[in-house]
Amino acid sequence: MSPEIPQQMQVVEITKPGAPDVLKIATQSVALPKSGEVLIKVAAAGINRPDILQRQGRYPVPAGASPLPGLEVAGVVASLGDGVTTWRIGDQVCALTPGGGYAEYCIAPASNCLPIPQGLNAIEAASLPETFFTVWSNVFDRGALKAGETLLVQGGSSGIGVSAIQIATALGHRVFATAGSPEKCAACVKLGAARAINYKNEDFAEIIKTETAGKGVDVILDMVGGDYVARELKALAAEGRLVFIAFLGGIKAEINISDVMLKRLTISGSTLRPRAAEFKADIARALRERVWPLIECGKIRPVIHATFPLTDAHKAHALMESGAHIGKIVLTVS
């Protein structure tokens, strides 16, 4: 072990499946990176919905991944595994990790790291990887959003939502979003949404029909599922694509298959964490080329709702579960 890297570190463990208070501070050994990996001295770690599901015992950890929660971090490269030439010790990076982000040190594939964009601090950078990788993979790769097409983002005020609105808007797309309060709808519009729809008192399918002169939207990014799906098929344009990334409203839906057939719709979905590092590396390259310049010129800005020290990870989880946040919640590591 290098003298600059301690043998032990503070981490947040899931002591058993349950409520936020099952998250406890513990001490673990610091592991060194394997071939193709880097060890990051963590300055900040983002909170994401999969962390909540993992804590509840509803999101199995992929084989070989750290059992600690935390899928995105920002900090400084502290050690390099064999064969890593793209980074140097001391580089400031943010990274998509297979787990282990709630800790003072975290290992990540070197290919899943990105430089901290110019003008951002570590807290802001830590809020980027999980949501930006997810949005790019599902909206632009799987959903194939093309020039001149429109996007509907369900849950526009979430971490995923604020990222999707900003990225798609910055790339020239007309974006619609749903949210659950006037404040959250206003936030979506401020971020670039052409229209924000309050799902508690407005029918998004009818609003979309009106806003698009009856055509519908080309892509829907859905984290709700359940009874939204039938209405989403109505809201899609011909050749439209519906992409699932979560199912907060339920895993089952009843649909009219004729809607799919007559409009030639595509229904798809994905999860990011179990995918291979090589798959994620392709997304990292696309983000660095297409999105990082938009961040550095100020067209996209991280939206940080709140920060908590690592020792208060349970409070961060409670806030996310309350649904009161707009944007990202981030842990800071001293």
**What digits encode the pLDDT tens for the residues 15-46?**
999 999 999 999 999 999 999 999 999 999 99
**What digits encode the pLDDT tens for the residues 320-334?**
999 999 999 999 998
Cβ neighbours for 190, distance < 8 A, ≥ 6 positions apart = none
Query: Do 146 and 264 sit in the same domain of this protein?
Result: yes
Query: Do 73 and 164 sit in the same domain of this protein?
Result: no
Residue 4's pLDDT is 86
Query: Do 107 and 139 sit in the same domain of this protein?
Result: no
CA–CA dist 31, 8 (Å, integer): 9
**Is residue 297 one of the residues assigned to a domain?**
no
**What digits encode the pLDDT tens for the residues 121-147?**
999 999 999 999 999 999 999 999 999
Percent of the chain surpassing pLDDT 90: 98
**Is residue 215 one of the residues assigned to a domain?**
yes
H helical segments located in 203-275: 204-211, 228-235, 257-263
Q: pLDDT-derived band of residue 2, with 50, 70 and 90 as boundaries?
A: low
Query: Do 143 and 261 sit in the same domain of this protein?
Result: yes
Query: Do 224 and 310 sit in the same domain of this protein?
Result: no
Q: Which CATH number characterizes residue 149's domain?
A: 3.40.50.720
Query: Do 111 and 166 sit in the same domain of this protein?
Result: no
* Of the residues 269, 294, 324, the one at which a domain ends: 269
**Is residue 292 one of the residues assigned to a domain?**
no
CA–CA dist 173, 217 (Å, integer): 11
Residue 274 identity: P
Query: Do 188 and 249 sit in the same domain of this protein?
Result: yes
CA–CA dist 120, 199 (Å, integer): 33
Query: Do 245 and 168 sit in the same domain of this protein?
Result: yes
Residue-wise DSSP of 258-280: HHHHHHT-EEEE--STTS-HHHH
**Is residue 282 one of the residues assigned to a domain?**
no
Query: Do 32 and 51 sit in the same domain of this protein?
Result: yes
CA–CA dist 184, 174 (Å, integer): 18
Query: Do 57 and 146 sit in the same domain of this protein?
Result: no
Percent of the chain surpassing pLDDT 70: 99
**Is residue 224 one of the residues assigned to a domain?**
yes
* Of the residues 269, 285, 314, the one at which a domain ends: 269
Closest CA to 264 of 241, 231, 244: 241
* Of the residues 225, 254, 269, the one at which a domain ends: 269
Q: Which CATH number characterizes residue 110's domain?
A: 3.90.180.10
**Is residue 108 one of the residues assigned to a domain?**
yes
Query: Do 64 and 117 sit in the same domain of this protein?
Result: yes
Query: Do 174 and 247 sit in the same domain of this protein?
Result: yes
Residue 16 identity: K
Region of 117 (left: φ > 0; alpha: ψ -120 to 50; beta: rest) is beta
CA–CA dist 116, 94 (Å, integer): 6
User: Do 180 and 204 meet the contact criterion of CB atoms below 8 Å apart?
Assistant: no
**What digits encode the pLDDT tens for the residues 208-251?**
999 999 999 999 999 999 999 999 999 999 999 999 999 999 99
Domain count, the chain: 2
Tokens of 120: 């951002």
**Is residue 279 one of the residues assigned to a domain?**
no
**Is residue 3 one of the residues assigned to a domain?**
no
Global pTM value: 0.96
CA–CA dist 45, 333 (Å, integer): 8
Range of the domain at 199: 132-269
Residue 334's pLDDT is 81
What's 103's DSSP letter? B
